[in-house]
Amino acid sequence: MSKKFRLMLCVGLLALSSGAVDAYSTMGMSAPPNNPQNIVRMAVMRLVPSAEIQQIVPAPMPGFYQVIASGHLVYVSADGKYVINGDLIDAEKGNSLRDDAWATYSKAELAKVPMADRIVYAPPHPKYTVTVFTDVTCPYCRVLHEEIAAINKEGIAVQYLAWPRTGVTGEDGKPTDTYNEMVSVWCAADRNSAFTAAKEGHEPKPANCKNPVKDQFDLGLRLGVGEKGTPTIYAEDGTVIGGFLTPEQLLDAVKQHSDTGS
């Protein structure tokens, strides 16, 4: 969780003792309808007014709702009085319900990205597929891409999504250099060649077109890539399995999160 989000969450927790209904009155609204999801929503907005809420669903823990907002996952009581920021463990199975929730959400969101908007490196008949949020300038992204032939040899297809780590716009409100570079890659006549060249430190020929770079960056924010950094590697089931991994490590990881399992 980002320091800013954590700070706002901690400050907001102190204010929750007065109840979620107050959040409505401070916004000039009448009392909330008798709907737990609305109460939960307003409790979150009171804690972090700038939060963009993507999902509110019943949590595995009775009496709580699971909330995904601005790349973070928290649990909020149905009455809006309590927030849990941390992992939730299934005591019987020993697995992280928080991780499972992120995987389910991430898989659904990643599935919405059209194949035409991805830059793909794949063997003729891939056994596994990973989705990777990448930046053309980050060192570990470059090292990962140096292994792309070996990764493909392991039967793994790599589908890249753009995540310029300097953001879309800088403090001056203008597009960042990295964003412009990634737009040029995605707008190149031969994306794969331009992508590989950029990974090798060769700036692509400037180009502009209708492109998915900002949308993919925003998706990464919703999935918490800003906290994880680049590269962020997703298995087929939506689980984050890396950072940088060697081809052998990547194969072991995808096997554990694949429908085939072998």
pLDDT digits (tens, 9 = 90+) for 156-166: 999 999 999 99
Question: Longest Cα pair distance anywhere in the chain, in angstroms?
Answer: 61
Domains 3-99 and 115-256 share a fold: no
For 181-227, what is each residue's pLDDT tens digit? 999 999 999 999 999 999 999 999 999 999 999 999 999 999 999 98
What is the separation, in whole angstroms, between the first and last Cα of the chain?
34
DSSP letters, the chain, are --HHHHHHHHHHHHHGGG-THHHHHHTT-PPPPS-HHHHHHHHHHHH-TT--EEEEEE-SSTTEEEEEETTEEEEEETTS--EE-S--B-TTT--BHHHHHHHHHHHHHHTTS-GGGSEEE--SS-SEEEEEEE-SS-HHHHHHHHTHHHHHHTTEEEEEEE--TT-SB-TTSSBPHHHHHHHHHHTSSSHHHHHHHHHTT-PPPP---S-SHHHHHHHHHHTTHHHH-SSEEE-TTS-EEESS--HHHHHHHHHHTSSS--
Checking if the pLDDT of 262 tops 70, the result is: no
pLDDT at position 34 is: 72
Neighbour count for residue 232 (Cβ, 10 Å) = 24
Reported as a pLDDT band with limits 50, 70 and 90, residue 46 is very high
How many CB atoms are closer than 10 A to CB 115?
7
CATH assignment of 3-99, given 3.40.50.1000, 3.10.450.70, 3.40.47.10, 3.40.190.10?
A: 3.10.450.70
Q: From the CB of residue 64, how many other CB atoms can be counted at a distance below 10 Å?
A: 20
Q: In angstroms, what is the C-alpha Rg of the chain? A: 21
Q: What is the pLDDT of residue 32?
A: 53
Per-residue model confidence (pLDDT) at position 259: 66
Which tokens is 193 given?
A: 């060649």
Pick the CATH number of 115-256 from 3.40.30.10, 3.30.9.10, 3.40.50.2300, 3.40.190.10: 3.40.30.10
Cα separation, 246 vs 37, in Å, equals 43
Instruction: List the structure tokens of 207.
Output: 């180009």
The band of 113, judged by pLDDT with boundaries at 50, 70 and 90, is very high
Torsion of CA 144, 70, 128, 254, to 10 degrees: 70
> Where are the domains positioned within the chain?
3-99, 115-256
Handedness of CA 85, 17, 25, 35 (dihedral sign): positive
Of 21-25, 54-58, 145-149, 258-262, the range with the lowest mean pLDDT is 21-25
Q: Is the pLDDT of residue 54 over 80?
A: yes
Measured in whole angstroms, the distance separating CA 103 from the mean position of its chain's CA atoms is: 10
Angle, in degrees to the nearest 10, between helices 191-199 and 139-146: 120
User: Cα dist. 90→3, 61, 178 in Å?
Assistant: 28, 10, 41
Alpha-carbon gap, residue 173 to 189, rounded angstroms: 28
